[in-house]
């Protein structure tokens, strides 16, 4: 090829490269790698003592969480105890290690930690994959726990967690899940570790994400959205009473069980904050971030009520109230732009949305001395019997299409078709980061029988 032909070819390639388009739906190709936040929920890097003024990385994209619970309150059988003579391992020489937690947050040494491991679970399908590891649908071997022993097993690589400085976030998620028990909040059943990996075992839910159903239906009616919002308010209220702020409420982090009830999951950004404290972390998903988070003014539980308002707006209209392709302009809209309410919504819905989406957190509905009761007593919820809501007696009219306890039709086929392997990982040299990670949920039925 002569010089002129080479120049022509280079010019052609250069012109075509400028038109190169990388699809946003990268998940269509299962051979591609994905960020941990795409499937386990976003995690910002924690502040170091030497740079207290530095803010963690902002999570800008919307993410999906593929694990969640089915309500332990509707199960009839107690969870099994374990009696194993051999240590479980996920690869040669990688025995289950750690100490057991008593359910109240205190670590207690117990030989049960040596009897529970990945070998106790049969891997059925992959239902998620991220930079830290994978999420599997699993069945407990020879045991009959909830849903015929079907669980979601979230597997995280220690070396990657340490490398990315996410140890505190992984521990916080696990710790918070051991402290909350509520009919509309994910229930952690077990956690354990091997020398190279962390494992969370959660009840498997097969109804799919609220996000999935919302975008299939386009919008929800006010009656349909009212039940979902009431269940979300109940869950968030419970978190706040326990000093926990979720900080990443959105349709992708809310799952639906086979009966149509919503379940709050993904506590990767949750934080324990007392009444007098504020957090300055810039974290979450931009469309759902409150103005005070974006302005780094310090935030508390009031930021969750803003997100509930965004959630409700999206359920009723099909999209969040503030949207823009440019992140900076999106943030400016959230901070400065006046809320626009569709005229087709009822005056009661307008009133609730205005109350929840107050820019000033001190004026926001739910920020007063009565807290969540301000929201529960709003006239839009006038037809809601809160006692029946919290006892799961108010049945949603819509039920997802589910064929059985182990149904994964509501999960993307790019994951469920992947090979079933919990691949080896190197063992970190420092194992002290994860001391006391092991947990077995207390049995709620023994005390009630």
Q: What is the pLDDT of residues 43-94, one digit of tens each?
A: 333 333 333 333 333 333 444 333 333 333 333 233 333 333 333 344 433 4
Whether 183 and 215 map to the same domain: the answer is: no
Q: Which pTM was predicted? A: 0.71
Which residues pair with residue 262 across a beta bridge? 256
Q: How many domains does the chain have?
A: 2
Assign residue 318 a region (left: φ > 0; alpha: ψ between -120 and 50; beta: otherwise). Answer: left
- The CA distance from 201 to 118, in Å, is 10
Tell whether 228 and 310 lie within a shared domain: yes
Are 107 and 227 part of one and the same domain?
Answer: no
Tell me which residue range forms the domain holding 197. Answer: 37-42+55-206+405-440
**Closest residue by Cα to residue 127 from 187, 65, 174, 188:** 65
> Are residues 243 and 333 both part of a single domain?
yes
Looking at residue 350, which CATH number applies to its domain?
A: 1.10.510.10
Reply yes or no on whether 248 is catalytic.
yes
CA distance 242 to 43: 22
269 inside domain: yes
Same domain, 164 and 193: yes
- The reply to whether 180 and 238 lie within a common domain is no
Q: Are residues 230 and 378 in the same domain?
A: yes
Please tell me whether residues 383 and 248 are part of one structural domain. Answer: yes
What angle do the packed helices 222-241 and 302-317 form, to 10 degrees? Answer: 170
Q: Which of 90, 175, 248, 266 is catalytic?
A: 248
Question: Is residue 11 assigned to a domain?
Answer: no
Whether 221 and 106 map to the same domain: the answer is no
pLDDT in tens, 8-31: 655 554 454 444 443 343 333 333
Residue 207 is predicted with a pLDDT of: 86
Pick from 55-64, 115-124, 177-186, 365-374: least confident: 55-64
Identify whether the C-beta of residue 39 lies closer than 8 Å to the C-beta of residue 64. Answer: yes
Span 340-357, pLDDT tens digits? 999 999 999 999 999 999
pLDDT number for residue 283: 61
For residues 117 and 148, state if they share a domain. yes
Residue 218 belongs to some domain of the structure: yes
Residue numbering of the annotated binding site for ATP: 154
Specify if 350 maps to a domain: yes
Residue by residue, DSSP assigns 290-303 as -HHHHTTS-B-THH
231 shares a domain with 177: no
Domain co-membership, 102 together with 229: no
Does position 387 have pLDDT exceeding 90, yes or no?
A: yes
Q: Is residue 6 part of a domain?
A: no
Tell me if 10 is assigned to some domain.
Answer: no
Residue 259 burial by Cβ neighbours in a 10 Å radius (0-12, 13-18, 19+): middle
Is 30 inside any structural domain?
A: no
CATH of the domain at 185: 3.30.200.20
How confident is the model over 394-420, as a mean pLDDT? 79
Q: What is the pLDDT of residue 276?
A: 58
Whether residue 221 is contained in a domain is answered as: yes
């Amino acid at each position: 090829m002569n010089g002129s032909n080479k120049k022509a070819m280079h010019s052609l390639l250069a012109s075509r490269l400028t038109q190169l388009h990388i699809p946003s739906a990268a998940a269509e190709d299962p051979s591609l790698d994905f960020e941990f936040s795409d499937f386990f929920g976003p995690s910002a890097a924690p502040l170091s003592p030497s740079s207290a003024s530095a803010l963690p990385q902002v999570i800008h994209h919307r993410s999906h969480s593929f694990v969640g619970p089915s309500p332990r309150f509707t199960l009839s059988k107690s969870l099994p105890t374990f009696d194993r003579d051999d240590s479980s391992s996920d690869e040669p020489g990688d025995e289950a290690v750690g100490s057991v937690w008593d359910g109240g947050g205190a670590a207690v040494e117990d030989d049960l930690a040596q009897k529970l491991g990945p070998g106790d679970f049969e891997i059925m399908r992959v239902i998620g994959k991220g930079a830290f590891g994978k999420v599997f649908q699993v069945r407990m071997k020879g045991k009959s726990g909830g849903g015929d022993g079907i669980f979601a097993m979230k597997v995280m690589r220690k070396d990657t967690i340490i490398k990315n400085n996410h140890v505190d976030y992984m521990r916080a998620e696990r710790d918070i899940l051991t402290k909350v028990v509520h009919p509309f909040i994910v229930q952690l059943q077990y956690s354990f570790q091997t020398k190279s990996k962390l494992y969370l075992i959660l009840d498997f839910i097969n109804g799919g994400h609220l996000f999935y159903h919302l975008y299939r239906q386009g919008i929800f009616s006010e009656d349909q959205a009212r039940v979902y919002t009431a269940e979300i308010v109940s869950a968030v209220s419970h978190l706040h009473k326990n000093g926990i702020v979720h900080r990443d409420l959105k349709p992708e982090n809310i799952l639906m069980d086979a009966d149509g009830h919503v379940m709050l999951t993904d506590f990767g950004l949750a934080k324990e904050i007392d009444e007098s404290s504020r957090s300055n972390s810039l974290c979450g998903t931009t469309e759902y971030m409150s103005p005070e988070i974006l302005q780094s003014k310090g935030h508390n539980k009031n930021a969750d009520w803003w997100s509930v308002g965004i959630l409700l707006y999206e359920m009723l209209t099909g999209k969040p109230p503030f949207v823009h392709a440019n992140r900076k302009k999106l943030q400016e809209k959230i901070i400065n732009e006046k809320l626009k309410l569709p005229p087709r919504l009822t005056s009661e819905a307008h009133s609730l949305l205005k109350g929840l989406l107050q820019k000033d957190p001190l004026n926001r509905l739910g920020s007063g001395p009565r807290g969540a009761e301000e929201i529960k007593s709003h006239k839009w919820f006038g037809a809601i019997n809160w006692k029946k809501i919290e006892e799961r007696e108010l049945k949603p009219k819509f039920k997802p299409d589910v064929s059985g306890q182990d149904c994964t039709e509501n999960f993307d086929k790019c994951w469920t078709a992947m090979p079933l392997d919990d691949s080896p990982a190197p063992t970190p040299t420092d194992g002290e980061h994860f001391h006391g990670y092991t947990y077995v949920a207390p049995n709620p039925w023994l005390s009630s029988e």
